[in-house]
């Protein structure tokens, strides 16, 4: 759109893009036509046409701004989704690492907690002084003398015969009559843990 400012002299009001695109195209290909169609605004309708052009320009600006905002919003949404995924991945790595550390700590603690010594195993290891003390302590409810007598008999038996006790009946047989009854041995077993 142009307005006449003199004879064969015009001022460009709208269509700058088209005009400069024609100039650039003619630089690349001089055989192109050197004219474009234009709308000439006369003095009678000049003010209303300019107002319409301003309204169209404002509408285009608003549309461009809206499109820019949408584009920015889409970019931000994609970035937020990527960031959220990275955070979830990082969270999972941290959780996995903490679970691994937790398992290591629990295993370490578990390895330092003394394990209960099964009674039959203790009878088989009665030659060891620490095991002997433990057996005496656990059997003290029978009386110290009786517990000492049983432990001494089992130690002597283990020195003479290296075979292991497979059952508690083997223990009773090794002790012989008069040391401990089946019922008292059951009490020892019940009180052991």
pLDDT for res 77: 86
DSSP 49-76: HHHHHHHHHHHHHHHHHHHHHHHHHHHH
Q: Name the residue ranges covered by the structural domains of the chain.
A: 2-62, 119-192
How many Cβ atoms from other residues are within 10 Å of residue 119's Cβ? 20
- Indicate if the pLDDT at residue 115 is higher than 80: no
pLDDT band at residue 99 using 50, 70 and 90 as cut-offs: very high
* pTM > 0.85: no
Q: Per residue, what are the HEC states of 115-156?
A: CCCCHHHHHHCCCCHHHHHHHHHHCHHHCHHHHHHHHHHHHH
Question: 96 falls in which pLDDT band (50, 70, 90)?
Answer: very high
First to last CA, the chain: 103
- Average of pLDDT values for 79-87? 88
pLDDT over 70 for what percent of the chain?
100
């Amino acid at each position: 759109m142009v307005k006449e400012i003199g004879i064969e002299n015009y001022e460009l009001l709208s269509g700058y893009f088209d005009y400069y695109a024609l100039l650039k195209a003619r630089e690349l290909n001089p055989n192109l036509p050197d004219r474009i169609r234009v709308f000439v605004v006369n003095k009678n309708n000049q003010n209303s046409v300019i107002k319409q052009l301003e309204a169209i320009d404002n509408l285009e600006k608003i549309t461009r701004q809206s499109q820019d905002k949408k584009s920015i919003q889409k970019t931000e949404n994609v970035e937020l989704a990527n960031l959220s995924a990275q955070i979830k991945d990082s969270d999972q790595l941290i959780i996995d690492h903490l679970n691994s550390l937790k398992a290591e700590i629990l295993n370490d603690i578990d390895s330092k907690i003394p394990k209960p010594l099964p009674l039959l195993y203790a009878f088989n290891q009665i030659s060891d002084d620490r095991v002997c003390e433990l057996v005496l302590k656990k059997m003290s409810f029978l009386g110290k003398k009786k517990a000492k007598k049983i432990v001494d008999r089992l130690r002597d038996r283990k020195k003479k015969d290296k075979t292991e006790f497979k059952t508690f009946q083997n223990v009773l047989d090794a002790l012989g009559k008069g040391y401990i009854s089946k019922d008292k041995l059951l009490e020892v077993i019940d009180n052991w843990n």
